[in-house]
Homo-oligomer: A and B are copies of this chain.
Amino acid sequence: VSVGNELLFGETVDTNAAWLGRELTTLGISVVRGFTVGDVAEDIEWAVRKAAQASELVMVTGGLGPTPDDLTKATVAQMFSLPLTCDDQVLETLKVRYSAGGHDEVPVAARGQAEIPQGSTVLENPEGTAPGILLRTQDATVVLLPGVPGELRAIVRGALRPHLEAMRPPHAERVWHHVTHTTGIVESRLTEQVEASMAELPPDVRAPVGVAYLPDVYGVDLRFSAHGASREEALARIAPLLNAIDQVVAPYRFESTSGDLAEAVSTELRARGMQMATAESCTGGLIAKRITDRPGSSDIFAGGVVAYSNRVKVEQLGVHVDDIETFGAVSEVVAHQLAAGVAALLHADVGIGVTGVAGPGGGSEEKPVGTVWIGTCVRGEVETFLGRYSGDRQAIRARAGQAALAAVYRRVLNASKG
């Protein structure tokens, strides 16, 4: 249960819920429902009651601070008819903390933070003034946590940790995940092919593994989930499915711990001691940005030219004026010359050239918005392809950049190391 008007109004993105989700999932505790409510006592009460009916553990974040709109603790105490009493140890901690901050005594407004529902367990907050609180009620264990991410994390990984450990289900019930990243194939087609490949597996092999398709603008992740007493046991259950789909996904799969194709490209370039350079027209620097987002990219990235005007294409990158006149700036020959030109100019093993119509204006019948020519040059050999991407300007640029990186990834994978 996430408490706070700022979450409902969208002023703050609820990163706590995702962080707790990952933390609990990793412990083998499955998260079944999330609630977001404002700073309203009856809404908080409603959500905690519903959450306690649906599960054995309820984590409530936010509304523990010292201001008048912090209602969580009083509301939950009242729900379970527990009087609030001052906890001497918490008060002592508050005194130490405020005196370290240069205050002679604890401000009146802040004293309420030492009040704890009778019979509950105080969870020390090493990062701030509001401690966490753990309550065992008839329906469920209810944990109250501050909404400041750093404080919440410190409590969950500190004082709360042994309580969570004790609540883990027996090993056999834990769920483990494996993710296969793909790019360059639309979700519906991937699904069709993957499901068809898996349909040939015996039901006792297929059934115990969950498969989820997670698409975004860059591609589709396949997430396999299986129970197991250990990660190895779960992966052994997942392995036959990975085997069955291997041929289908091979042309689209990439290896990356972060899920970012730029990581995969960087890893393969580094393994071969190769450097890359980019000549970007319609993508306007986004491929260079993605590569340099990663630390240590100077090893594998020589640099790039954002060749937005034709003048830059011609003067800096050696694109022929007459080719631009004959075929247009968005053409196979220009993509070819951009990729080869930037590799030569910046002394790089690999060059990328991208030229296209990102829109919303500039499209024609022959070259509608979304038309992008991509060239890749690997050790002097150039290949080109035509992409047609859908969506708005941002999506077209993102998809074109991803396709260019995917093309480089495939070609570099096949290049010799040296």
Interface set of A (CB-CB < 8 Å, partner B):
2, 5-15, 17-23, 25, 30-39, 43, 47, 50, 65-69, 97, 100-103, 107-110, 113, 126-129, 148, 150, 154, 177, 186-189, 191-192, 195, 211-217, 223, 278, 280, 282-289, 291-293, 295-298, 301-309, 311-312, 316, 345-347, 358-361, 370, 388, 390-395, 397
Contact = CB atoms under 8 A, between A and B. Distances in A.
Contacts of A67: 187-188, 191, 212-213
A228 B69 CA distance: 22
A22 B35 contact: no
A285 B308 contact: no
Contact of A308 (B2, B148, B298, B345): B298
Nearest to A15: B13
Given A7-B18, A113-B188, 17 more contacts: A5-B212, A6-B212, A9-B21, A12-B214, A13-B15, A14-B14, A32-B37, A32-B38, A65-B213, A100-B370, A107-B192, A108-B192, A127-B392, A284-B297, A293-B397, A295-B361, A302-B311
B303 A306 contact: yes
B36 A9 contact: no
Contacts of A101: 186, 388, 390
Contacts of A297: 284, 308
Contact of A34 (B35, B212, B283, B295): B35
A71 to B, nearest CB: 12
A33 B22 contact: no
A100 B292 contact: no
Contact of A128 (B25, B212, B295, B390): B390
Contact of A189 (B39, B107, B192): B107
Q: Which of A69, A212, A345 has the most CB of B within 10 A?
A: A212
Contacts of A305: 303-306
Number of this chain's copies in the complex: 2
Contact of A285 (B8, B97, B289, B302): B289
B37 A33 contact: yes
Contact of A292 (B12, B285, B370, B392): B285
A21 B7 contact: yes
24 contacts: A8-B34, A13-B13, A33-B35, A33-B37, A35-B35, A36-B36, A50-B50, A67-B187, A67-B188, A100-B390, A101-B390, A148-B215, A150-B391, A284-B288, A284-B291, A285-B288, A285-B289, A293-B397, A295-B393, A301-B306, A301-B308, A302-B312, A304-B308, A309-B346
Contacts of A215: 65, 148
B17 A312 contact: no
A278 B307 CA distance: 11
A298 to B, nearest CB: 6
Contact of A188 (B110, B191, B390): B110
A68 B12 contact: no
Contacts of A347: 311
Contacts of A392: 126-127, 150, 154
A289 B358 CA distance: 13
User: Chain B CB within 10 Å — which of A150, A191, A217 has the most?
Assistant: A191
A388 B308 contact: no
Contact of A303 (B11, B39, B66, B312): B312
Which 6 residue pairs are nearest across A and B when measured between Cβ atoms? A284-B292, A10-B21, A34-B36, A285-B288, A285-B285, A10-B22
A312 to B, nearest CB: 4
Contacts of A148: 215-217
Contacts of A50: 50
Given A305-B306, A394-B150, A295 B213 contact: no
A109 B33 contact: no
A11 B301 CA distance: 30
A216 B62 CA distance: 12
B18 A17 contact: no
